[in-house]
């Protein structure tokens, strides 16, 4: 039996997702931010929407470029978020969690095609089996194609944290990544990222930090900020299922 509170939150998430979807029909031409997680060698290994085969990852990006879509730099993305221009036929690549395959499988392809990308890192995952080590993060951070962002200290749901816990997650992960890379850390992505896991209070609190913007995991485009705001920007998860459609 689920509690009434959880039911209300799920309902809120459902309505919000529906509104964003509806809006995407009215404003279909917005710049898009894509989410990837782990890149696997072979399609037979893909078991969840958080994994994609290397060949599908590469063909997705090649198709984007062949269609004439522009891969945004972090600066271009920032200008689009600030509404200095719409960047309609553009997209931005993000990786959540910091799987090692970002370095071993995605990075060589991105580098070969000069595609900028953002890696959103959860501190507690660094160095664990199958995740990036600090040296790999530093090496990518020194490449102008790569921007490092925070995906919190721990990969936990924010909704049930106290304000102090949430602030610690925002600020200490940022400080750590700044010290590690020697670069500014201007963007954040909420772990899990739906309204089931992130409250409006969490988003309001994030606005008080030094981050310039933050990502959700709710599908939509960057034109839809009247609903989501720049501290809860929409992104689209790319997985094998989406590509098959
Ligand atoms: Zn994550």
For residue 131, the 8-state DSSP code is B
Q: Domain segments of the chain: what residues?
A: 4-244
> For residue range 2-58, what is the model confidence (pLDDT) as tens digits?
678 778 888 877 887 788 777 767 766 789 999 999 999 877 777 777 889 999 999
What is the per-residue pLDDT across 102-128, written as a single tens digit (0 to 9) for each?
999 999 999 999 999 999 999 999 999
Distance 108 CA to ligand 1 centre (A): 22
Residue 86, by phi and psi: left (phi above 0), alpha (psi -120 to 50) or beta?
alpha
Global pTM reads: 0.92
Residues with Cβ–ion distance below 5 A, ligand 1: 96-97, 191
CA of 116 to the centre of ligand 1 (A): 20
Closest-CA residue to 120 (of 144, 139, 102, 106):
102
- Return the CATH superfamily for domain 4-244: Glycoside hydrolase/deacetylase (3.20.20.370)
Q: Between the CA atoms of 100, 103, 106 and 112, what dihedral angle is there, to the nearest 10 degrees?
A: -170
pLDDT at 218: 87
Phi, psi dihedrals of residue 184, rounded to the nearest 5° = -65, 145
pLDDT at 198 over 60: yes
Q: Is 145 exposed, middle or buried (0-12, 13-18, 19+ CB in 10 A)?
A: middle
For residue 215, give the nearest of 68, 116, 90, 97 by alpha carbon. 97
Each residue's pLDDT tens digit, 71-107: 999 999 999 999 888 888 999 999 999 999 999 999 9
């Amino acid at each position: 039996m689920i509690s009434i509170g959880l039911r209300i939150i799920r309902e809120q998430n459902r309505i919000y997702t529906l509104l964003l979807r509806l809006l995407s029909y009215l404003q279909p031409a917005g710049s898009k931010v894509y989410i990837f997680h782990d890149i696997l060698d072979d399609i037979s290994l893909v078991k969840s929407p958080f994994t994609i085969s290397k060949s599908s990852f590469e063909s997705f990006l090649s198709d984007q470029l062949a269609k004439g879509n522009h891969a945004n730099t972090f600066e271009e993305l920032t200008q689009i978020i600030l509404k200095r221009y719409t960047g309609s036929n553009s997209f931005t690549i993000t990786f959540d969690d910091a799987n090692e395959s970002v370095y071993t499988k995605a990075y060589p392809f991105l580098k070969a095609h000069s595609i900028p990308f953002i890696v959103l890192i959860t501190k507690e995952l660094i160095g664990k089996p199958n995740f990036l080590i600090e040296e790999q993060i530093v090496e990518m951070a020194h490449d102008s194609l790569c921007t490092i962002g925070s995906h919190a200290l721990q990969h936990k749901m924010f909704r049930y944290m106290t304000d102090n816990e949430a602030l610690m997650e925002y600020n200490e992960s940022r400080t750590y990544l700044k010290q590690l890379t020697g670069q500014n850390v201007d963007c954040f992505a909420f772990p899990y990222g739906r309204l089931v896991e992130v409250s409006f209070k969490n988003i309001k609190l994030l606005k008080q930090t030094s981050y310039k913007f933050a990502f959700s995991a709710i599908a939509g485009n960057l034109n839809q900020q009247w609903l989501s705001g720049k501290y809860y920007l929409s992104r689209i998860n790319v997985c094998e299922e989406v590509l098959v459609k």
